Amino acid sequence: MTTTTDAALIELAGRYGVSVDWTTDRGEPRTVPADTIQRILAVLGVDASSGPAIAAALRAADDDARHRLLPSCVVVRQGEPARGVHPVAGAAYVVATEDGGRHETADPRNDLGRLPIGYHTLRVRVGDRSAAAPVIVAPAVLGTPDRRHWGMLAQIYSVLSERSWGMGDLGDLADLTRWSARLGASFVLVNPMHAYVPDRLADPTPYRPGSRRFADPMYLRLADVAEYATAEPAVRAELDRAARQGHELTAEVLHRNALIDRARVWPVKRNALERLYRAPRTAGRSAALAAFTAREGRGLEDYATWCALAEVYGTRWRSWPAALQSPHGPAVAAARRELVDRIDFHRWLAWLVDEQMAAAQAAAVGSGMAIGVIHDLAVGVDPEGADAWAVQDHLAGGVTVGCPADDFNPLGQDWGLPPWRPDTLAEAGYRPFADVIRGTLRHSGALRLDHILGLFRLWWIPAGSGARDGAYVRYDHEAMLGVLAVEAFRAGAMIIGEDLGTVHPAVRAELADRGILGTSVLRFEYQGGSENRSGPLPADQWRAGCLATLTTHDLPSTAAWLSGEHVDLQDRLGLLNRPRAEVAADAAAERDGWLAELRRTGLLEHETAVPGMSAESLALHRFLARTPARLVGVWLPDLVGDRRPQNLPGTSTEFPNWQLPVADADGRPVAMDDLASSAGAQAVAGLYAASAEPATTP
């Protein structure tokens, strides 16, 4: 870009946080095409289609900055000066605190940091001009564990018991926390349990939900709903018939090698729930439902309304009658009155899920877990789901998020998720984001954020473009992290950020400075970094402020990685972009490098295999136990030698992603009760108990 127009476009892009260049994972600079910048600016409501339009947009931005008395949102860490607040001579400043207090201040820049942690409002008047801005006061730093804790990593749908109805549920989660606690584990980290878009169950990824504010009723254990036990005989007979159907689905998965099929599970559960909904409730239960409804407010109302409208018009809300496409219009208000019973049904479902999620966390803590359930937050939502309808003013239309091309994905990735709009989110005081965090944290001891770098910047891809043809758009990470810290502080929970891949050191330093833990996976921990590998990173050089694991849901199981079977699987499915022999040789070299490290440190010399777990697998866990990592996670399928991944990136119908139960080395499904007594579980628990010691300071 060399012309005057290009220079002006670059300046305009900078004003709105649109990056005009970026660096590949190989360190190579790239320039974003002008038309991509123009299309992204258009999404933000900025006309950059011509030289005169760009000049006008710059003048408008200058005028706004010159006349603005306050920033869109003020963010301050407690005890520090507020950034972006520049007191104006003769101005009168008043702070309205969220508890109803009112305080005048002549020095808002320094006084705001003395406010209680939370959400407040700053108002200013200068002559006949006035303005107001939301204020977020965040804790200076979040608390982190003062010693090492270990726990389980589980895709809860894959952990079935004989009490399940075709997939693992919240009752199974409660039981999983109990037996994990008996082994000495401090937590169970689960997959995102967000609400699905009902007619998308054939694509069961938990990372493309319809709503992140509310969990999916498919995870309900119906036998644990209070009204089940007190239902009238005729209703109870119907419920028992549904239970037999549900248990038959479980038998198919556990004993006849069927896949977990949500499209079969949900109709059985839903029909039973429709019957339970009509069952009488005690006064106490009715009061609890009313309290939940009041607490969740407009967010629950909108979610339940979308669910009810989707029953009538289908789940693609952009195809609904135009008057129903916004939640704020008179047509939707009329529909709420007309569909009140269906809206009440979906509110009731959300309440039941909330109850059982609370029960799972109570079971964990009551069993002695220091942390309990760790929930996972997906990076975004389905563009046709409930959240995208309810908060559409704060989501960018005409773009999706993904990632640029790299060695693993030469065409880049388009995740098909609409991003937050940085401008309208700030003007709303980040309330929509806070609502998501608060809801996910409510019954959690900690929260894992998928792709936490998305709080700093996201790769926006204009509609109709390839994933390579995007640009990074910056977010006010101070504000996003501030909201995250406020909600975690109030919930008494920790935050774990998934920060794998190429991450600028300043980003990791910022996260650590705030008390946010990172994520370290053995396969990516090398001297010189994962890009410039010069041998496995010794255990004592791993960072302390992280969740350390051997693998993840997107990587091969430890048994498959050790045997090289993951390469065979990729080859069978045509996923290799190099000759199989080359890929296999690289995989063997990677594995042999780590085994050599185990031998060098004496960890493999005296290790003995147990049924389901090889000596090498146990030695790798012993290696993790030597790191200073505050949290160490054990991939649950590794306990029984499972060789199948839960998700194989780059596939859709070629592989049954998110549909496999935990299985042993021969592919035989393993029920949760048998997992608890497995030799692998006992061996892993024993080695982490033997290594228990305080974690070092990061």
Q: What are phi and psi of 133, to 5 degrees?
A: -145, 140
The string of DSSP codes covering 321-383 is -GGGSSTTSHHHHHHHHHTHHHHHHHHHHHHHHHHHHHHHHHHHHHTT-SSEEEEEE-S---T
Average pLDDT of the segment spanning 503-531: 91
User: Locate tokens 């998305």: which residue?
Assistant: 454
Model confidence at 339: pLDDT above 90: yes
Average pLDDT of the segment spanning 405-414: 78
pLDDT of residue 563: 97
Q: Check if the beta carbon of residue 573 is closer than 8 Å to that of residue 649.
A: no
Here the tokens at position 129 are 């001009």
pLDDT of residue 531: 63
Q: Check if the beta carbon of residue 698 is closer than 8 Å to that of residue 543.
A: yes
Here the tokens at position 207 are 């990372």
Model confidence at 3: pLDDT above 90: no
CA distances from residue 559 to 437, 541, 554 in whole angstroms, order as listed: 35, 25, 14
What is the sign, positive or negative, of the torsion defined by CA atoms of 211, 214, 218, 219?
positive
pLDDT of residue 693: 60
241 or 412, greater pLDDT: 241
> What are the b/e assignments for 457-473, b being 16+ CB within 10 Å?
bbbbbbeebebbbbbbb
Q: d(Cα 518, Cα 548) in Å, to the nearest integer?
A: 9
Q: Provide the CA 597 distance to its chain's centre, in angstroms.
A: 33
- Which is nearest to 485 in space by CA: 518, 447, 453? 447
pLDDT of residue 695: 46
Confidence of residue 276 (pLDDT cuts 50, 70, 90): very high
Model confidence at 697: pLDDT above 90: no
CA atoms within 13 A on the CB side of 388: 24
Q: 142-177, pLDDT tens digit by residue?
A: 999 989 999 999 999 999 999 999 999 999 999 999
Percent of all residues in the chain with a pLDDT value above 70, rounded to a whole number? 98
- Which is nearest to 414 in space by CA: 472, 454, 497, 470? 470
Q: What are phi and psi of 556, to 5 degrees?
A: -60, 150
- Which is nearest to 388 in space by CA: 560, 558, 211? 211
Provide the β-strand partners of residue 151. Answer: 187, 633
Model confidence at 530: pLDDT above 70: no
Q: 416-448, pLDDT tens digit by residue?
A: 999 999 999 999 999 999 999 999 999 999 999
Confidence of residue 503 (pLDDT cuts 50, 70, 90): confident
pLDDT of residue 407: 67
Provide the β-strand partners of residue 93. Answer: 105, 124
Q: 534-578, pLDDT tens digit by residue?
A: 799 999 999 999 999 999 999 999 999 999 999 999 999 999 989
Q: Check if the beta carbon of residue 197 is closer than 8 Å to that of residue 315.
A: yes
Here the tokens at position 592 are 């042999």
Here the tokens at position 551 are 């693998």
Average pLDDT of the segment spanning 510-515: 97
> What are the b/e assignments for 91-115, b being 16+ CB within 10 Å?
bebebebeeeeeeebeebbebbbeb
Average pLDDT of the segment spanning 628-638: 98
pLDDT of residue 528: 73
Beta pairing, strands 92-96 & 102-105: antiparallel
Confidence of residue 501 (pLDDT cuts 50, 70, 90): confident
Q: 41-55, pLDDT tens digit by residue?
A: 999 999 999 999 999
3-state DSSP assignment of residue 564: coil
Task: Classify residue 612 by its DSSP letter.
Answer: T
Q: List, by residue range, all CATH 2.60.40 domains of the chain.
A: 74-138
Mean pLDDT of the chain: 95
Average pLDDT of the segment spanning 617-646: 98
Angle, CA of 52, 58 and 62, to the nearest 5°: 145
Model confidence at 362: pLDDT above 50: yes
Confidence of residue 670 (pLDDT cuts 50, 70, 90): very high
E strands, 139-191, where? 149-154, 187-190
Q: Check if the beta carbon of residue 304 is closer than 8 Å to that of residue 310.
A: no
Model confidence at 480: pLDDT above 70: yes
Average pLDDT of the segment spanning 254-276: 98
CA distances from residue 350 to 156, 378, 532 in whole angstroms, order as listed: 19, 19, 48
**pTM confidence score:** 0.96
Angle, CA of 527, 530 and 531, to the nearest 5°: 105
Q: Hey, what long-range contacts does 495-499 have (CB within 8 A, 24 or more apart)?
A: 495/142, 495/446, 495/447, 495/449, 496/374, 496/446, 496/447, 496/448, 496/449, 496/547, 496/631, 497/448, 497/449, 497/452, 498/448, 498/449, 498/450, 498/451, 498/452, 499/452, 499/453
Model confidence at 502: pLDDT above 90: no
Q: Check if the beta carbon of residue 220 is closer than 8 Å to that of residue 353.
A: yes
Confidence of residue 2 (pLDDT cuts 50, 70, 90): very low
Specify the amino acid at residue 533: R
Average pLDDT of the segment spanning 692-696: 56
Residues with Cβ within 8 Å of 426's Cβ and at least 6 positions away in sequence, in order, are 71, 72, 73, 476, 479
Q: d(Cα 421, Cα 396) in Å, to the nearest integer?
A: 5
Q: Check if the beta carbon of residue 624 is closer than 8 Å to that of residue 536.
A: no
pLDDT of residue 532: 64
Q: 577-602, pLDDT tens digit by residue?
A: 899 999 999 999 999 999 999 999 99
Q: Fold for domain 74-138?
A: Immunoglobulin-like (2.60.40)
Model confidence at 335: pLDDT above 80: yes
